[in-house]
Structure 1
Amino acid sequence: MTAQNNRLTIILSAAGFLLLLPLVAMQFTKEVNWTLSDFIVAGVLLFGTGGLIELAMRKINKVGTRVWVILGILIVLFLVWAELAVGIFGTPFAGS
């Protein structure tokens, strides 16, 4: 197994682990109430972000540029996640 494939496995495993956290929390509290569509959207966001980060790691050779691109990908993830969770921008995606 190459180092690139190992890195991809780690990234996708981390995304899967993050997706399991609300599933486990739903077993212990009524405050976490995700539907199937919530898990699908979160999975697309997490696995998509992981895939984009892996693509940046493979294609961008200059370390400084790679760091900025990955940081930009993560910022977009957090902004979309926050918008979907609480509607910080008031777009129709958040149900506002």
Structure 2
Amino acid sequence: MDTAHSDRRRWRARRWGAIGALLLAPVLGMAVSDQVAWGPADFLLAGLLLAGGNLLYEGLSRRRPTLQRRLIAGAIGLAVLVLWAQGAVGIL
């Protein structure tokens, strides 16, 4: 089996797993505190934002050199972070 291909598959699984873990964090927070109050719409929007960013990365990074993939990941990650912060507290 091609090791580059298996590495990409492994990283893909890790990214999707990280998205799941990020969406589980508020569930755990709501279980232990009244300060975290997410509704279904919050989970839907967070899931769409994270999954959309990941799908965008997967589409844009395919068949690109490592440096370009890292730059794409950084740009998309920054955009997701800014959108998340804007949605959370309206910083901009």
1:55 to 2:67 alignment: no
Count of equivalent residues? 88
The aligned runs of 1:1-96 (5 Å cut-off) are 3=6, 4-60=8-64, 62-89=65-92
Q: Distance in 2 between matches of 1:41 and 1:59?
A: 29
Could you tell me whether the CA contact under 8 Å between 2:61 and 2:68 is conserved in 1?
A: no
Percent identity (aligned): 32
Q: Calculate the TM-score normalised by the size of structure 1.
A: 0.80
Q: Is the 8 A contact 2:53 2:80 kept in 1?
A: yes
Unaligned ranges ≥5, structure 1: 90-96
Q: CA RMSD in A?
A: 1.8
- Unpaired stretches in structure 2, ≥5 consecutive residues: none
